[in-house]
Structure 1
Amino acid sequence: MANNPMGAHHNPGLVRPHPPLPGTPLLDLLAEPPEERPAPEPSGRDPIAMALSGVAALFATVALGIAVLTWLSMSDLQTIVAVSGANPAVDGGQAPPEQAASGQAVAPMPGQPLPGDQMPPPSAAAATYSQAYRPQSLQLALPPCGSSMTRYVDLDEPRVDADASRADLFYQARTGCYGTPQLHLVNGVKAAVVARPTIRPTQCGTSIRNAPADNPIRLDTTKVICVLTSSDKAIGEDITQKMVVLVVSAPTPTGQTTVRANGWHVT
């Protein structure tokens, strides 16, 4: 075998340049060979993880779309229910009265009876009135000092020192023997302090409904008072309820006062 010093020390990683081809220009021979670009380094992202992230994003988008559609559907459903409740004749039937959002009962359809717990109380403003008695004068005085006596007044007759079971109000000092006198209303009796003694009973009914008086009523000056007697008491005694206009003069230092009463039947 011939001695070959190059072959004896052959390096497989060493690439020998190829001899130039015949006819190659001199400038091309002298030019540097083009640099080889290094191969891109592999990224640290796992393709499986990237795929799972894409799937998760897709599911999130779908879930958001479903939530939006559900919200829109519920809003449309509430609108339909509200329209149906406003027009119960849509389904051809009459729905029972329901409780409104504010807590007030919805009025039933015409001709439908009211439930027992929704029956309106009798209104004095819508009542009719007829004269029960002409103006009568009553004398009120505070009980003797230290006495346990109470001055009861029955406005159905009218009468002073009436039986307590038939009384509509009673007359009493606020404190001590000669304190400012007061009129106390018995349970079920309603009143209003008004300005004119010529007030009509219908106007009294409106005043009692819109501006009821405190109980007791302080009698520090002359006052005009509309009084509506108890409907329960009238039913129990089988008599008519009364609307009475009282003109109470300012009491004297000893608690003496004069009351003029004018009464009407309430039917």
Structure 2
Amino acid sequence: MEHVLACIDASSYADSVCDLAAWASKRLQMPVELLHVVQRSDPVAARGDLSGAIGLGVKTNLMQELVELEAADAKLKVERGRMLLAAGEKRLRDAGAFEVRTLHRHGGIVETILEREVDARVVVIGKRGASHEFASGHIGSKIERVVRASSKPVLIASREYAEPQNVVFAYDASPAAERALGRLIESPLYTGLPVNIVMADTDSDAHRRSLQDASSRLGVDREVKTTMERGKPEAVIARVVEETPHAMLVMGAYGHSPIRTLIVGSTTTTMIRTVHVPVLLVR
């Protein structure tokens, strides 16, 4: 059965992820699978121990201590995960989610998300995880890996949740943008929401035609406006988002290769990092 896959951890983004997943669940009339992944930690690194130069007998005692520490740490993480899932399930039900089921897994976060998204309509994840949530100006280390590898739209929650009431659609006529436009047209997630199609480029007949074509494809039964402004996409889009109350940003994601992104940067990453609203990314 198709569902909304919501991924939570111990960060302060968990509440926003649950609220956004509940919103998506009600609009899509689909259940929520609430996922928490316990990652295997390195007990030596966690202990901060450098034992390479100590005697063999001491090493034997140390290994026993590390085994005990690892077991205690694993037990603590499992219990914390159960508590997170219980709190998240309650929040989802209180918010009116269509149906909720929880899943507690061990392993790699990215790999587990990709495994569980097979039957998902959309993946909801926080902008930053527990280990990076206070790193202002950065996004979580797993976000780009999930988005690049995922075959499903990824909805990224900001720290504070507000129910989306307007869509800002970043459009550049690229293949990724066309796929995002297809989602806007077909998905009940956006039914009834006004859409502002934003193109950050020079004002030309060709660009105007592209905007008009995108607008007409969204249909006559919804409120659609277009904005064309010359400038850096990340600056233009961010300004429009900031001026739009209760906005959700929708955009095609990572249209260029990781190597090119490393050299010239990524508009996708910049938008995730700088805007303070939910961002839906379509690959």
Normalised by the shorter chain, which TM-score bucket?
under 0.3
Structure showing greater radius of gyration is 1
Higher helix share: 2
Higher RCO, 1 vs 2 (CA within 8 Å, ≥6 residues apart): 2
TM-score (normalised: structure 2): 0.23
Give TM-score scaled by structure 1 length.
Answer: 0.24
